[in-house]
Structure 1
Amino acid sequence: MSKGLSGKTIAICGTRKKQKKCVHLSKSKGTSRYSLSSRNRIFLAKEELKPGIETFVKQGADWVILTTGIGTDTLIESAEELQLGKEFMNILSNAHIASRGYKKPLLL
């Protein structure tokens, strides 16, 4: 029987205390392969998010950690602009989602 997050891939969306979250994930034997960061800005260049979104769509994730409502909305809009919106939302709908606050479920 596996324990903790052994063998699970986790996508961290947001920059707040990201290093601390990565340490907790590794202690639980989880793998944080990439992060999708909106850097707490409402307007963000699509090119800055493109590599993270493309990797997320290619590799998927077992768990997704969402930390801001504006950041989540920005990620979804950016994925749609990159013509990856459907794949992005498909991964989100099949992953376990951990979020902070009440706005994320309304967005999803």
Structure 2
Amino acid sequence: MSVQTIEQAGITPTFVAANTDGVSVVNNGNTYIEVINSHTQAHTVTVDHPGTVDGLAVADLTISVTAAQTRKIGPFSARFNQSGANYIHVNFDSVTSLSVGAFRIA
């Protein structure tokens, strides 16, 4: 998914339908996502955390986006980046009436 850079003059944000395979977003530590839930039920957004501490998995970040809510999530530190990569991966419990955009400040 493309990250939209917010300049001083502002932007007209664009959003895409959530994908059943989730989305990967390039992350520089100042990246956040915005999720629009147009559905009548809450949905869960999960940001994968690939790390471990002393061999134990670190829990993924899960956020509930309630019905008819728009929610900004992030920014994400580099510890959320997939192993050996510069991107995060975000999953959705359902993609019904769910849109997502990725942003960073210039």
Do the two structures share a fold, i.e. TM-score over 0.5? no
| TM-score normalised over the length of structure 1 | 0.28
| TM-score normalised over the length of structure 2 | 0.28
Larger radius of gyration: 2
Higher fraction of strand: 2
Bigger RCO (CA 8 Å, 6+ sep): 2
Higher fraction of helix: 1
